[in-house]
Amino acid sequence: MSQQLPIKDLQEKLLDMMKEIDRICQKENIQYFVTGGTFLGAVRHKGFIPWDDDIDIGMDRKNYEKFLSKLKDNLPSNFKLDYYTNNDSEVPWVKILNLDYKIVQKLDYKVIQTDNTIDNITIEQYLFIDIFPFDNIPDNKILRNIFRIQIYFKTIKLRLAKSRWLSKSTNQIFAKKFKNLITKIINMKIFDNFLNYRKVLGQYDKLIKKYQNKETKMISDITVDYKLKKIFRECIDRDKAYQIVNYDFEDTQFKGMKDYDTYLTKIYGDYMKLPPENERIAKHFIKVIKCK
């Protein structure tokens, strides 16, 4: 029988997954750093934020590609790589799946930024940890702004292609939510090639690697935010990304940037201040179920 897990048990399973990823990275000499809420949890709570329900990891592009190349020989049998190049992954970054557990996730989705949110959609998938590439971005402000605009328009295309893909989902309730005017238009046959989701994901991945052979001072995760002003929200100094130290995290230690203050202040402001109690809730998963 399937069994729903409380958040502490979920965090325990994520911690086990993270320990395995850390083991692989240490074995293969791959440098990573925890990011986002995981990094905040390490600094403020010495572990998970009590209500957090995921783990985020960052790597520069060189380590990211090396990590991908080493997974085949290192992943346990109950883990799986989820990436757009080898299956139906719906995101342009790496996910490591745990095939022993499934999660039910609420998806609030905007086709484009001006649309009303398409909400009350749930999807079921395996428990996962996200691993984000941090790519080179131009030092020159003019080139950086041009790059920002290029990414922005490519993300619009990516959203349209994803909406088209979702609207054709085999989940009929899921697909029904997308039967609005925009998706009726983009589902026209003339867009079969232009908005092919696999192809657009590949185009996006190629774009964010545009400066990988250039020497730049800054790197950034540019796989997530679609708003123009937030595209380089996680921009960090390359040198700081290589100054990595251990942080206590629950019963173990994980890697993070030595200069935690600059990063966390940029993302969260006064990061040591707890949010209001009504905001201390899990934001990603509705429930987690142990597979049979």
| Tens digit of each residue's pLDDT (9 = 90 or more) over 214-242 | 999 999 999 876 688 889 988 999 998 88
Terminal Cα-to-Cα distance of the chain (whole angstroms): 6
| Rg (the chain; Cα; Å) | 19
Element (H, E) at 238: helix 238-242
Beta strands in 138-207 (DSSP E): none
Residue 123 backbone dihedrals phi, psi, to 5 degrees: -125, 150
Element (H, E) at 184: helix 181-186
Kind plus residue range of the DSSP H or E element containing 22: helix 7-27
198 φ, ψ (degrees, to nearest 5): -60, -45
Contact (Cβ atoms closer than 8 angstroms) between residue 22 and residue 251: no
- pLDDT (tens digit, 9 = 90+) per residue, 148-202? 999 999 998 988 888 777 776 644 444 455 556 566 777 667 777 788 888 999 9
d(CA 11, CA 9): 5
Reduced to 3 states, what is the DSSP secondary structure of residue 155?
A: helix
pTM equals 0.86
